[in-house]
A and B are shown apart, each in its own frame.
Chain A
Amino acid sequence: MTQGATRGKVLVVDDDAALAEMLTIVLRNEGFEPVVCLTGDKAMGAYREHRPELVLLDLMLPGKDGIDVCREIRAESGVPIVMLTAKNDTVDVVVGLESGADDYVVKPFKPKELVARIRARMRRFDEPAPESLEVGDLTIDVAGHTVRRGGELINLTPLEFDLLVCLARKPWQVFTREVLLEQVWGYRHAADTRLVNVHVQRLRAKVEVDPEQPEIVLTVRGVGYKAGPA
């Protein structure tokens, strides 16, 4: 818990002042540099001002709610977004994920759990070796974090990129949702497979020519997903 070099700037968007303050204490203890924003309306301004490496976003906010904030940030950037939600009902979680959140944590969470989720989302900053992968008609430059179809650049969030790379590295392997949760999201125990379903949909919407008939990310019924042939 040293206050040495910061591990990254984290924007905390939560209307509950006490929780926001507590979050800053915990994050600071873990070596992050937290920035607090108490309303949804000011969230975009704060994001543009601080350019954080990760956003912690409460789903229920007065004024502009978390879903809208999430969409707006996503429209501008692929920054990792972790939602804080008080509800574990499918509808709320799926709506949050579909609006662009990478992961979610259900209140009340343990600080360690939250930190683990944040670290998992930021871990990609350990730069990988240069590597080039091919899936279908896509070319992936792993070190450069770019995906191209022909000469055209496809804009993916870091999470979507990780998901695609994970599948593309082993095109012969079928990944179960649990394995993907572990490799892409960093969950060591079984977690919510809805995360995988929603993000596969989002990824398909971006990389597939026809998302109704996927050729890049294929569903293996009853098992999971695999990459399409190169």
Chain B
Amino acid sequence: MPTPAPAPTLRSAVTAAVGGALSWLLRPVRAVALSWRRSLQARVVMLTLLLSALVVALVGWMLLRQVTDGLVESKRDASLQDARQGFADAQGFVDSTDPTNLDPVQLLSDLFQRLNEPGAASGQYRVVLTGPAGQWRSLPSDAETIPAELVSRVEQPRPLGSAAPTAWTYTRIGDATAAGSVPAIVVSSQVVLPSDGGTYTLSFLFPLGEQVDTLNVVRGAMLTAGSLLVVLVVGVAFLVIRQVVTPVRLARRIAERLAAGRLQERMQVRGEDDIARLGMSFNQMAASLQQQIRQLEELSRVQRRFVSDVSHELRTPLTTVRMAADVLHDAREEFDEGTARSAELLQAELDRFEALLSDLLEISRFDAGVAALELDEVDLAEVADRVVTATHLLAQRRGSTVEIRTAGRPGDRPSGRPGDRPGDRPGDRPGDRPGDRPGDRPGDRRCVAEADVRRIERIVRNLVANAIEYGEGGDIVVTVGASDDAAALTVRDHGVGLATEEASMVFNRFWRADPARARTSGGTGLGLAISLEDARLHGGWLQAWGEPGNGTQFRLTLPRRAGQMLERSPLPLVPADARRASVGAAYLMPQLRGAQP
């Protein structure tokens, strides 16, 4: 059953074809527009071309007009002179004839012959003789060309005995529609034939062919001269602008190289003109930049060296203290109560001190820009597994369960008390599935990203430890998810939550939600700051969402391939349960976007 092609298809095909043709036509226009915008040289040359062409055209037009006027004027004067003489001659001839000769046709023919003879011989003019109301015509084709308006002017009634008036005008002779027609001057007057008393209109046609030829020659010459002039001016403009643009372009190239880090690049300076001085200033700027950058590099090197030295200098005595404390700690049962407790405190605080020192060194490594990635295939689900196993004891102590979910499949693999969570969707299967790896599940997308496993594990450990710390014994859910170009992990707790303005501050160094809690919590205060730097190093995001009384959610998003730009995360930042529970969460989003690196 063949059906006719639907009209929209055809229409769109036509539209496309027209569009294609249009774009093909527009392409050179676009190219010109582009070079107009981008090239100073092209712009100046185009402007010069336009303006000089305009001026040359104007001057040429004026000159041509003057020449034309001059030529036509002199021809007209000569023609009128000739015509007047002709009229006088004609009237004289007519008056001198025998009035009894009653053959006006013969007379007119003679007259015509007499008048036309010299003009036709020299090619200067032709004569047209017409009778009243078309009674007689010498040359019908020429007669057509005598303007009616001129004839009517000549035929005006006039007082008896006065001389016949003479009138003239410009016209064209020959075939008016064809290119072969020639402008001409026509001079008319009237002749009264004594034999029949009839009034005949006598016209002299002076063709301007010669003048037209002259003008054509002049016009051609001017056109050639004008074109040459325009070409000359444009050429000069091109050369002049090249003198300016070439060093400017050179400066641009050198500036680009400087920007790319090749600080030793300099412009060549020749002479003492403005361009040379531009080059000198440019080179001074480059030298100054190079010096500043070298200073900064030196400073950064010194700083790095300092950090490294401090690290060494601090670590050696710390090791001694650490070992001494350990010896004391091991022997604490032999001490009295106060001394034994002191040994314990010493041991515990040394742990904190060590953690703080190593975090500080880590941060300073980020600040110095020496942190480097050791990339490998990292499965976020496996990392989450390891971290949850490692923090199991801590979670148990706080009374929290930590559960790992794969996006879209809630309820899998709880690590603590299984199956007693309220609000789980129906149909999910709570229960332990030991040894079940995410890659083994059918239809499951592995959350693999190219990343530094040590850093990623540190981020996840920080997030989970934080959630346990501030989760107030509530359930903690770690969700992993992936899209084609990003892998993500969220950690959700149901603790005190964060105020709107706090969500972006949690990553600040040594920031604590509640200053009163600072002494009791074990963290160094640098954990999230380090995690944020770790995420940034991967080109990833680390973001926080929180609501007072409704817990927090942290989201880590990593590009699957190192160096790729992240566009969106496979997991939502605001958890689904919070979205249902409140509208306040939505207002938080713009702020959090602002916190994205």
A: residues with CB less than 8 A from B are 16, 18-19, 22-23, 25-26, 29, 60, 84, 86-87, 89, 107-112
Docked-complex contact B316 and A111, CB < 8 angstroms: no
Docked-complex contact B322 and A110, CB < 8 angstroms: yes
Docked-complex contact A109 and B319, CB < 8 angstroms: yes
The residues of B that contact A111 with a CB separation of less than 8 Å are 322-323, 326-327
Docked-complex contact A60 and B326, CB < 8 angstroms: no
Docked-complex contact A87 and B308, CB < 8 angstroms: yes
Q: How far is the CA of A109 from the CA of B320 in the complex (A)?
A: 9
Known: A86-B311, A86-B312, A87-B311. A25 touches B319 (CB 8 A): no
The residues of A that contact B324 with a CB separation of less than 8 Å are 22
Docked-complex contact B323 and A60, CB < 8 angstroms: no
Docked-complex contact A108 and B327, CB < 8 angstroms: no
Instruction: Give the contacting residue for A16; candidates B311, B320, B322, B327; CB below 8 A.
Output: B320
16 further A-B pairs in the complex, CB-CB below 8 A; given A18-B320, A60-B312, A107-B319: A16-B316, A16-B317, A19-B317, A19-B320, A22-B323, A23-B323, A25-B323, A26-B323, A26-B326, A26-B327, A84-B319, A86-B316, A107-B318, A108-B315, A110-B326, A111-B322
B432 within 8 A of A: no
Which 8 A/B pairs are nearest by Cβ-Cβ distance? A86-B312, A107-B315, A108-B319, A86-B315, A108-B318, A107-B319, A19-B320, A22-B323
Docked-complex contact A107 and B327, CB < 8 angstroms: no
Question: What's the nearest-Cβ distance from chain B to residue A19, in Å?
Answer: 5
Docked-complex contact B316 and A19, CB < 8 angstroms: yes
Question: What's the nearest-Cβ distance from chain B to residue A194, in Å?
Answer: 10
Docked-complex contact A29 and B327, CB < 8 angstroms: yes
The residues of B that contact A110 with a CB separation of less than 8 Å are 322, 326
B: residues with CB less than 8 A from A are 308, 311-312, 315-320, 322-324, 326-327, 354
Q: How far is the CA of A87 from the CA of B304 in the complex (A)?
A: 13
The residues of A that contact B323 with a CB separation of less than 8 Å are 19, 22-23, 25-26, 111
Question: What's the nearest-Cβ distance from chain B to residue A30, in Å?
Answer: 11
Q: How far is the CA of A18 from the CA of B318 in the complex (A)?
A: 11
Instruction: Give the contacting residue for A109; candidates B308, B311, B312, B322; CB below 8 A.
Output: B322
Q: Is the interface of B mostly helix, strand, loop or mixed?
A: helix
Known: A25-B327, A108-B354. A87 touches B320 (CB 8 A): no
Q: How far is the CA of A89 from the CA of B320 in the complex (A)?
A: 22
The residues of B that contact A86 with a CB separation of less than 8 Å are 311-312, 315-316
Question: What's the nearest-Cβ distance from chain B to residue A38, in Å?
Answer: 13
Question: What's the nearest-Cβ distance from chain A to residue B587, in Å?
Answer: 43
> What are 29 A-B contacts with C-beta separation under 8 Å?
A16-B316, A18-B317, A18-B320, A19-B317, A22-B319, A22-B324, A22-B327, A23-B323, A25-B323, A26-B323, A26-B326, A29-B327, A60-B312, A86-B312, A86-B315, A86-B316, A87-B308, A87-B312, A89-B308, A107-B312, A107-B315, A107-B318, A107-B319, A108-B318, A108-B322, A108-B354, A109-B319, A111-B322, A111-B327
The residues of B that contact A16 with a CB separation of less than 8 Å are 316-317, 320
The residues of A that contact B318 with a CB separation of less than 8 Å are 107-108
Q: How far is the CA of A165 from the CA of B582 in the complex (A)?
A: 64
The residues of A that contact B308 with a CB separation of less than 8 Å are 87, 89
Residue of B nearest to A109 (CB): B319
Q: How far is the CA of A60 from the CA of B319 in the complex (A)?
A: 15
Q: Specify which of B308, B324, B354 lies most central, judged by the most chain A CB atoms within 10 Å of its CB.
A: B324
Instruction: Give the contacting residue for A22; candidates B311, B315, B320; CB below 8 A.
Output: B320
Question: What's the nearest-Cβ distance from chain A to residue B214, in Å?
Answer: 93
Q: How far is the CA of A25 from the CA of B319 in the complex (A)?
A: 13
Residue of A nearest to B321 (CB): A108
Residue of A nearest to B390 (CB): A189
Known: A86-B311, A87-B311. A107 touches B326 (CB 8 A): no
Question: What's the nearest-Cβ distance from chain B to residue A107, in Å?
Answer: 4
The residues of B that contact A22 with a CB separation of less than 8 Å are 319-320, 323-324, 327
The residues of A that contact B322 with a CB separation of less than 8 Å are 108-111
The residues of B that contact A89 with a CB separation of less than 8 Å are 308
Q: How far is the CA of A16 from the CA of B327 in the complex (A)?
A: 19
Residue of B nearest to A19 (CB): B320
Question: What's the nearest-Cβ distance from chain B to residue A118, in Å?
Answer: 14
Residue of A nearest to B308 (CB): A87
The residues of B that contact A87 with a CB separation of less than 8 Å are 308, 311-312
Q: How far is the CA of A93 from the CA of B147 in the complex (A)?
A: 112
Q: How far is the CA of A25 from the CA of B317 in the complex (A)?
A: 15
Residue of B nearest to A106 (CB): B315
